[in-house]
Amino acid sequence: SQKIEQNSEALNIQEGKTATLTCNYTNYSPAYLQWYRQDPGRGPVFLLLIRENEKEKRKERLKVTFDTTLKQSLFHITASQPADSATYLCAPLYSTLTFGKGTMLLVSP
Amino acid sequence: GAGVSQSPRYKVAKRGQDVALRCDPISGHVSLFWYQQALGQGPEFLTYFQNEAQLDKSGLPSDRFFAERPEGSVSTLKIQRTQQEDSAVYLCASSGYRGVEQFFGPGTRLTVL
């Protein structure tokens, strides 16, 4: 079965810096990969989707890359703000959407 | 409504009781998903409906778990004879197309004592 690995340690950064979160997967590449944000007590919220044949996708301050050779996706938030503090979930699509455990991001003022 | 709603938001059950969790998806969304999220973990897929048809139930952990969506809109996840290991947040999501941009509800937190 597929394993999705995300940084288990929380990522602490200062406001204004770029946050980079990592998602690694095993075995074969998914057709596409999604990133979600989850705040405490709430359901995940969709952020970005990147397809297997795309290298990079951007949306405002967010950027996602997809490297099928490394079997890795990177999620970047530029000019981070305290409001970006949340858990970020990587979710590649295999037969179903398969979520990683998520990485908690803490942005301090 | 504007988004996916779930009820109840919190449910406490004694071990052995049956529970029913409701999901109201976004109007017009044909796809509906149920996930289980344990503390500190990501959501884990339970089952998927396209309209009223349950196309995938491979994630249901046991035959105590049953889901239905009889009219292709509201869905109910039923857990019979609850066990302590069933304690988790149960998330419902809907989508206009299978797997692409799923819209999640706030979840139901189930605690089995």
- Interval B40-92: pLDDT, tens: 999 999 999 999 999 999 999 999 999 999 999 999 999 999 999 999 999 99
Tell me whether A104 touches chain B (CB under 8 Å).
no
Asked whether the CA dihedral A30, A34, A39, A43 is positive or negative, the reply is: negative
Kindly list the domain boundaries of chain B, sorted by start residue: 5-112
pLDDT digits (tens, 9 = 90+) for A29-41: 888 999 999 999 9
Give the span between the Cα atoms of A99 and B60, in whole angstroms.
Answer: 16
B43 interface with A at CB cutoff 8 Å: yes
Inter-chain contact A43–B56, Cβ cutoff 8 Å?
A: no
Q: What is the Cα–Cα distance from B2 to A67, expressed in whole angstroms? A: 36
Sign of torsion, CA B75 B43 A44 A65? Answer: negative
B71 interface with A at CB cutoff 8 Å? no
pLDDT of residue A7: 86
**Residue B2 has what pLDDT?**
80
Residue B24's nearest CA partner among B95, B78, B73 is: B73
Which A residues, 10 through 69, put their C-beta within 8 Å of a C-beta on chain B? 34, 41-46, 49
- The class level of CATH for B5-112 reads mainly beta
